Amino acid sequence: MAKSRPPSILLTWLGARTRRLRLGTAVIVLPWHNAGASGGAGRDPRSPIRRAGSIFGIGKGYRYNEFAGFCVPMEEADARFDECLDVILKAWTADEPFSHQGKYWRFDSIVVEPPPAQRPHPQIWMGAGSERSIRRVAAQGSTCLLGQYASLRDVAWNIAVYKSEVEAHGRCFDPMQVGVTRAFFDCPTIWPRERRRWTAACKNRMRQLKLATRPDGTVHGGPDRATGDPRAVNEASAMYGNPDDIARKLEELREAGVGYVLLNGGGSGGGGRGRESLRRFAREVMPVLRRADEHRLNPIKIEVYCVRQHGVAQAVAASP
């Protein structure tokens, strides 16, 4: 079992060197973390030259072996998540030292400094895959981050669930309140090397399913995590191909009700090939989307949120 290094280190470095780039996490699994320390890790960069805010993306986790590795029972995930988030919100909004006496964490007269630049706190995104989790996120008024492998049919259903719960609480639904993540690589031709990388992506999908599988063979989480041939799931969800292929898949997402797409990486493990993939996307795909958006009431927003290499976040980029 292995996880990437604390994202707060990279975000602090990036925050000191960028102005318009919106930084964030997707996601920090709260049940594994010390509640008081997480409040500090999730604060936004306070550089006076920065113009963009930040996102605190969180989740409760779903992979059995990762919980086992941290010696945290999965049955405690919901309760730990709720208590940890409660402490984090106190740490962000309290004007004086506060105490907390909970089931899993206890603190006496603590304060997290400096306070967040965004008031009352950074925007909170919550990962969700099941109907119960999606309704919970909607009820709390947070932005929902759907799973990377969900099919178009499941994405449309999940958005409808979120929308109905938002409206049930007397609020207006905004498509930008639901983010849909997709693996991404823009290449004009599928070269043999890219085919090998595609095969590696399928193997990684198998590894993720293995991590999520309990001893009794069941998988905790949404249907995209539990069932389906890994290759078929990847081919149905990932945006992998030439600019026309990617534009077509983005249009399919738009037709399913998606307004906010997060592209995971640039493909091929980042590096030079990943950066060139992003440049092709900006040159050849974004203009097509902008032209289409001029005649639509529901423009789609695209962000590239993370490029990873060897388990460590390597770069972050965004396209409006």
In the predicted model, is pLDDT for residue 188 greater than 70?
A: no
Structural tokens at position 225: 């995590």
| Contact of 266 with 185, CB cutoff 8 Å | yes
Average pLDDT for 162-182: 93
Q: Give strand pairing partners of 127.
A: 145
- Please tell me the predicted confidence (pLDDT) of residue 309: 35
What does the pLDDT look like over 193-218, one tens digit per residue?
Answer: 666 666 666 676 667 767 777 788 77
- pLDDT, averaged across the chain: 77
Average pLDDT for 239-262: 86
Confidence category of residue 103, pLDDT binned at 50, 70, 90: very high
Dihedral sign for Cα atoms in the order 4, 31, 71, 37 = positive
What does the pLDDT look like over 13-51, one tens digit per residue?
Answer: 888 888 777 888 888 899 988 887 766 555 555 554 455
Structural tokens at position 97: 């030292």
Range from 65-69, 81-85, 136-140, 164-168 carrying the lowest mean pLDDT? 65-69
**3-state class of 266 per DSSP?**
coil
**3-state class of 113 per DSSP?**
coil
Average pLDDT for 158-176: 95
